[in-house]
């Protein structure tokens, strides 16, 4: 059976400021580097064979650090872009809440029905997640791999693999340097085959 250690990259300055990062390339800050170092020690004994990363800078930076520390392969997943949050990218979450309270509330309750201005729907990202998990399942039938993905991409990966609810995506970015182990269930492998 395949296990995926889903890792959120460490903090960036955008995260600390409460800004929407989306698919912008913002490097890890000092706190983020420390969070990744902590993750390395926490996952060291899990038997991770390969570390994959979505294609944004904080995920790649974190994944390379983890792979190097564990002496395993690093691979960048070129089609695994985070959600393009369009004109919201760079804005404070508080600005969206204040200026667009209805959309903010809808994003909390039914994010799949919201398209950020000039951005993309979650369904587009979910399709990328589904294709990526299928590819990973074909490559790794069993064992343990790591996938470093920022939010909300990480929540979509978890939701797809566990068949569960997304939760409040405004709160998801608060989990910098967090990780969890997901067991890929046989029905996901069948869907991916």
Where do runs of H (alpha helix) occur along the chain? 13-17, 30-43, 57-70, 93-99, 101-109, 122-139, 153-162, 186-192
The DSSP code sequence of 155-193 is HHHHHHHHT-----TTTGGG-TT-EEEEE--HHHHHHH-
Q: What is the pLDDT at residue 102?
A: 92
Question: Is this prediction's pTM over 0.75?
Answer: yes
Enclosing H/E stretch for 21: none
Count other C-beta atoms under 10 Å from residue 176's C-beta.
23
CA within 13 Å, CB half, 54: 29
Q: Are strands 143-148 and 50-53 parallel, antiparallel or unpaired?
A: parallel
Q: What is the pLDDT at residue 174?
A: 66
**Under a CB-based contact definition with an 8 Å cutoff, are residues 181 and 3 in contact?**
yes
Structural domains in the chain plus CATH codes: 2-192 (3.40.50.1240)
Q: pLDDT (tens digit, 0 to 9) for every residue of the chain, 193 residues total? A: 899 999 999 999 999 999 999 999 999 999 999 999 999 999 999 999 999 999 999 999 999 999 999 999 999 998 899 999 999 999 999 999 999 899 888 888 888 999 999 999 999 999 999 999 999 999 998 999 999 999 999 999 999 999 888 776 766 556 788 999 999 976 655 554 4
Q: What is the pLDDT at residue 193?
A: 46
């Amino acid at each position: 059976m395949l296990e995926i250690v889903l890792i959120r990259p460490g903090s960036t300055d955008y995260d600390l400021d409460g800004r929407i990062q989306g698919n912008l390339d913002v490097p890890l800050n000092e706190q983020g580097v420390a969070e990744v170092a902590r993750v390395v020690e926490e996952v060291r004994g899990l038997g991770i064979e390969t570390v994959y990363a979505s294609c944004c800078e904080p995920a790649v930076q974190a994944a390379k650090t983890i792979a190097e520390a564990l002496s395993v392969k690093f691979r960048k997943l070129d089609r695994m872009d985070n959600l393009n949050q369009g004109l919201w990218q760079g804005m404070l979450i508080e600005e969206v809440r204040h200026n667009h309270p209805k959309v903010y509330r809808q994003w909390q309750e039914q994010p799949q029905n919201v398209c950020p201005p000039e951005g993309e729907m979650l369904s587009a990202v979910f399709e990328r997640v589904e294709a990526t998990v299928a590819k990973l399942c074909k490559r790794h039938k069993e064992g343990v791999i790591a996938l470093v993905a920022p939010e909300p991409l990480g929540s979509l990966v978890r939701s797809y693999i566990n068949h569960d609810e997304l939760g409040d995506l405004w709160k998801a970015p608060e989990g910098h340097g967090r990780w969890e182990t997901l067991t890929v269930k046989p029905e996901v492998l069948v869907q991916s085959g």
